[in-house]
Amino acid sequence: MILIALDLISKGYRAICGLDEAGRGALAGPVVAAAVIFPTNLILHDAHRLSGIRDSKLLTPRQREDQYGRIMETALAVGVGMTSPSTIDTHNILESTRLAMQQAVGRLVQPPDFLLVDALALPAIPIPQRGIIHGDRLCVVIAAASIIAKVTRDRLMCQYHDEFPRYGFGQHKGYPTAAHLERIRALGPCQIHRRTFRGVRTEPAHHGNGGGESSRGVS
């Protein structure tokens, strides 16, 4: 998990940033991206402190929360960006993911000198970079970014559950589960649904704002 970072350090890079996202496949809510930079000395001399950091999809919710805390304590810099459902509908999910990643990089207090990105290229960012397929399973800094993005998004979707309780966002986090699709069929979409996504666009909105619940969207 640290070999890619070690190779870049050996080539002179010192602020290696991992980037990943959460929520690309959801029907509701934002796509959230995170950028993480670990101190070079931590990677070189205390890599055991990064044990347990792996692809967020391989961790339980409790493990993700625990690792989130460890990453926030040990990282040199963390940045988070997100794009709203309306932006996703306007620009498509791929470009919206790139926009969220650009935001995340822009919010780092330490400028990165190399980007390691899960699967994608970010041509709008003039920083040396490498897109790695399954990077969240192969590279510790990308895995760390996947955890920050996932926990941040899950927490936000739980807040939306309080606003739109009949959709069950606290359970499925906006992903296309059978229960979620049934709720869309019964209630129509609410303000945080992605109207251009299959499973949302094919269903008529029976109640203008999801049955009279809060009308606040994602900023």
Q: What is the mean pLDDT of residues 154-182?
A: 98
pLDDT at 212 over 80: no
Residue 142, pLDDT > 90, answer yes
Which pTM value belongs to this model?
0.91
Give the confidence band of 201 by pLDDT, cuts at 50, 70, 90.
confident
| pLDDT tens, residue by residue, 52-96 | 999 999 999 999 999 999 999 999 999 999 999 999 999 999 999
Distance in angstroms (rounded) separating the CA atoms of residues 81 and 93: 14
The CATH number of the domain covering residues in 3-160:
3.30.420.10
* Residues 51 and 124: beta-carbon distance below 8 Å: no
**Residue 110 to residue 191: CA distance in whole angstroms:** 35
How open is the CA angle 199-202-208, to the nearest 5 degrees?
95
Is 9 buried (19+), middle (13-18) or exposed (0-12) by CB count in 10 A?
middle
Structure tokens at 147: 């955890």
**What ranges do the domains of the chain cover?**
3-160
Q: What are phi and psi of 205, to 5 degrees?
A: -85, 100
Q: Which of 4, 79, 82, 6 is nearest to 44 (CA)?
A: 6
pLDDT classification of 202: cutoffs 50, 70, 90: low
For the chain, where are the alpha helices, taking DSSP H only?
3-10, 40-45, 61-74, 85-91, 93-106, 135-138, 140-163, 169-172, 178-187
Residue 94: HSE in the Cβ half-sphere, 13 Å Cα cutoff: 5
- The pLDDT of residue 217: 35
